[in-house]
Structure 1
Amino acid sequence: MSEKHPDPDPDDPGHVPGLEPGGQVPPGETPPGEDSTAGAGPDERHNPAKGWSKAPVIVLAVIVAVFLVYFLAWAIEL
């Protein structure tokens, strides 16, 4: 191996940085648990309302009413 890229898996664990004798990782060497990603997400300040607004419901109701009237008139004509 070249000197630029040392062996990532050395035979002697005593030369691995961050390990105590016996291969244990000392406290503070690993990242914290649950709180490590607390602020990682986007800043969400705008939360749109759930459900439908009044305008699309009214438009759909009018379209359904027009179709009902048309098909009722067609059925009565027969």
Structure 2
Amino acid sequence: MIATNQDPDPLTTAGLEPGGGVPPGETPPAEGSTSEAGPLQETSRGWAGTPLTLIVLLAVAVAGFFLAYAVVVNAQ
């Protein structure tokens, strides 16, 4: 495979001014209008039910473990 230079030659590139500048109107706009994108989707607010439930159950399980450990250690 032969490596080729991917940079365009400034001497043969159309639309360049001396010094490498580009005249106004030569480049396309950066991005299109967002008003043409259509309606936005509704985003949910807050946490979803399943992840929140799993986090609460995990916290209760960890607290229960430490409570049971404290009861067993104090009973000895």
Give 1 or 2 for the bigger CA radius of gyration: 1
The alignment's TM-score, normalised by the length of structure 1, stands at 0.43
TM-score normalised over the length of structure 2? 0.44
